[in-house]
Amino acid sequence: MIQSLARAFKEHGVGPQQPGSPTAAAAAAGTSASDAVRALVPPAALADSRQTKMTVCGLELEGVSISGQETCIIVPRAKVAFDIGRCPQRACFQQTVLLSHTHLDHVGGLPFHVATRCMLGLPGSRVVAPKGYAAGVRKLVEAAMELQGSPPIEYEVAELEAGQDMQLPSGYLCRSFPTTHTIPSQGYVLYSQRRKLRADLQGKSGEEIRQLRLAGEEVTDTVEVRDTVEVTVEVTVEVTVEVTVEVTVEVTDTVEIPEIAFTGDTTAAFLGSEAAPVLNDALRARVLVMEMTFLCDNVTVEEARGKGHMHIADFVAHAHRFQNEAIVLIHFSPRYKRSDILESLATMLPPTLRAKCVPLLNGIE
Ligand SMILES: [Zn+2]
Ligand SMILES: [Zn+2]
């Protein structure tokens, strides 16, 4: 995993150092911020790069996310795009769009997604929105279609409330969890599903389980079904039919594994509900994609909360909650250069948290 994170840092490179970067924490710690960045990134990677893909824990991700401009995170394995502020070409090939909320930088590209899939002859877009927002999302798409003079296009918009399951065509199970933004918002967890030996059979030998399976196949029962048939002479005849019913013994359970989680825009307050099972799954998903809009003291923690966004100080304060193998940080404010972002992460995150964080820097100079 560490190797893949190092590769992700390398793939995204580091631009030239900018004056006025947030270096206060580094100074306080007696280290140079640029030294800390260089410790993270091999010198060969210091040249800028415009890679659009990253691989984190074996999972390929692609997309762009800049606060107020556009967010779209594509997960080809799950055939999902999380949000669609504009519509990168590859997003069109993911049938499912999971919307965290309906700010324009997260939903503006949806008409392109719907129209392009139709033009390419692909199955209609499947869009998931927070509760109460499906009708508004349809209006957005239909207004664009009307302006285009386009004939009706097949697509679906569904709402997914907390506690509901949605099976995706890619085989993943999707659930939502509440987040805290300036309008109603939610994050998503995608689960893989695997068959596992039934809990009460754990510890039994292979031979015992084989015998159980065999027993299951051989257990049959004979059921006598009695029916009456009326005939024209008004004589009632009893008919007896023998039916054999096979009884099989199920020896496996389905286990759900949280693989990928996405927060969308949120303050750190979404972490407050410790009892929420889907939130807890998000915090132990192998890969968590989380917003990190503000990184410096020019915007205080309180101001960040007021704007509905995460501040790096709030992230550090909740470091113990994140059990993920990797955290992809997105949605940085456009005020930051990529060198600012890397310096902040290198100097402000404690080492254990820093080791699992990868910034998505596509489109950031
Ligand atoms: Zn946003
Ligand atoms: Zn927003």
Looking at residue 138, its pLDDT comes to 98
Looking at residue 20, its pLDDT comes to 35
Q: What is the pTM of this model?
A: 0.76
Structure tokens at 329: 């940080």
**Ligand 2 center to 308 CA (angstroms):** 7
Q: Let me know if residue 303 belongs to a domain.
A: yes
**Ligand 1 center to 103 CA (angstroms):** 7
Looking at residue 162, its pLDDT comes to 84
pLDDT tens-digit series, residues 204-239 = 777 777 777 777 654 444 332 223 333 333 344 455
Q: What pLDDT tens digit does each residue of the chain (365 aa) get? A: 434 434 444 444 333 333 333 333 334 334 444 444 444 443 333 334 445 789 999 999 999 999 999 999 999 999 999 999 999 999 999 999 999 999 999 999 999 999 999 999 999 999 999 999 999 999 999 999 999 998 999 999 999 998 799 999 999 999 999 999 999 999 999 999 887 776 777 777 777 777 777 776 544 443 322 233 333 333 444 555 565 555 556 677 789 999 999 999 999 999 987 668 999 999 999 999 999 999 988 999 999 999 999 999 999 999 999 999 999 999 999 999 999 999 999 999 999 999 999 999 999 99
Q: What's the mean pLDDT when you consider all of the chain?
A: 82
Note down the domain range covering 131.
55-196+252-338+351-359
Looking at residue 149, its pLDDT comes to 94
The closest ligand to the CA of 66 turns out to be: 1
How far apart (Å, rounded) are the C-alpha atoms in residues 134 and 160? 10
Looking at residue 231, its pLDDT comes to 32
The closest ligand to the CA of 73 turns out to be: 1
Given a contact cutoff of 8 angstroms between Cβ atoms, the answer to whether 112 and 119 are in contact is no
**Ligand 2 center to 152 CA (angstroms):** 30
Q: Let me know if residue 25 belongs to a domain.
A: no
Looking at residue 249, its pLDDT comes to 67
**Ligand 2 center to 175 CA (angstroms):** 20
**Ligand 2 center to 16 CA (angstroms):** 30
The closest ligand to the CA of 82 turns out to be: 1
**Ligand 1 center to 67 CA (angstroms):** 5
pLDDT tens-digit series, residues 256-266 = 999 999 999 99
Q: Let me know if residue 241 belongs to a domain.
A: no
**Ligand 2 center to 263 CA (angstroms):** 11
Q: Let me know if residue 214 belongs to a domain.
A: no
**Ligand 1 center to 43 CA (angstroms):** 33
Q: Let me know if residue 288 belongs to a domain.
A: yes
Given a contact cutoff of 8 angstroms between Cβ atoms, the answer to whether 204 and 195 are in contact is no
How far apart (Å, rounded) are the C-alpha atoms in residues 17 and 294? 19
Looking at residue 241, its pLDDT comes to 56
Structure tokens at 316: 């550090």
The closest ligand to the CA of 182 turns out to be: 2
**Ligand 1 center to 247 CA (angstroms):** 54
Q: Let me know if residue 13 belongs to a domain.
A: no
Contacts of residue 276, Cβ cutoff 8 Å, sequence gap at least 6: 162, 177, 178
Q: How many domains does the chain have?
A: 1
The closest ligand to the CA of 332 turns out to be: 1
**Ligand 1 center to 100 CA (angstroms):** 9
Residue 22 Cα distances to 12, 66, 151, 339, 359, angstroms: 20, 19, 52, 10, 16
Residue 289's closest CA among 77, 14, 74, 6?
A: 74
181-196: string of b/e by CB count within 10 Å (b at 16+)?
Answer: beeebbbbbbbbeeee
**Ligand 2 center to 183 CA (angstroms):** 8
Q: Let me know if residue 208 belongs to a domain.
A: no
Question: In this structure, what CATH number is given to the domain that contains residue 144?
Answer: 3.60.15.10
How far apart (Å, rounded) are the C-alpha atoms in residues 317 and 330? 18
The closest ligand to the CA of 308 turns out to be: 2
How far apart (Å, rounded) are the C-alpha atoms in residues 8 and 63? 14
Q: Let me know if residue 12 belongs to a domain.
A: no
The closest ligand to the CA of 291 turns out to be: 1
**Ligand 2 center to 181 CA (angstroms):** 7
